[in-house]
Amino acid sequence: MVERAGLRSEEGDPDLLLSYAAEVEAATELRHRFAILADSALQGFFHLAAEGHAFVSLDSYREEFGDSLEMNYPGAGPGFLRLARSYWTLQMLEGRLGMRYAGTLLQQTLLSVHARVGEAFFPDSDEIDSDEMARVQRSLVEQSGAAIDLDEMIMGNPLLVGNPLADD
């Protein structure tokens, strides 16, 4: 994800991501590099989501959630489905890496990306402010520079049906 955002990997990045958060807390330069990596991972996620990248097999998704994405999001457009595919398979990847990488910056990075995207696109709340949600979605995608057709994605987002911003 980091490389898809255009960030060049530095020599110590793999070691940094596999280090534990407590080890890095005291080192200012490492905290700064981690912040850059985490931000780039979020941006890179959207670049991968533009293509509908699956972090695990879609068969695994069907096994875990019982149906395909198309069945779980009836009426969703292709742009939204590509993003959903990347989001939900990233969640599954997190689960698979969980115990092995618990407490590492890699785990924190994946959790951070998952949380930021989840809050903006797949909120847990039944009460959704569609206008605000659409604004946040637009902002995140625009900041990433990913080749996502925002109008297509928002118009095809079943959670935003009836949203006046979808007509922008």
The ranges assigned to domains in the chain are 3-167
Q: What is the pLDDT of residue 45?
A: 95
Q: What is the pLDDT of residue 99?
A: 78
CA angle, corner 145, sides to 148 and 50, nearest 5? 30
Within the chain, which residues score under 50 in pLDDT? 163-168
> Residue 101 and residue 4: Cα distance in Å, rounded?
22
Q: What is the pLDDT of residue 29?
A: 73
> Residue 117 and residue 15: Cα distance in Å, rounded?
26
Closest C-alpha among 54, 69, 137, 143 to residue 152: 137
Whole-model pTM: value is 0.84
**What pLDDT, in 10s, does the model give residues 111-142?**
999 999 999 999 887 777 888 888 999 999 99
| Ranges of H-type helices in the chain | 13-18, 21-24, 28-50, 58-65, 69-72, 78-97, 105-121, 130-144, 150-155
> Residue 143 and residue 136: Cα distance in Å, rounded?
11
> Residue 41 and residue 93: Cα distance in Å, rounded?
14
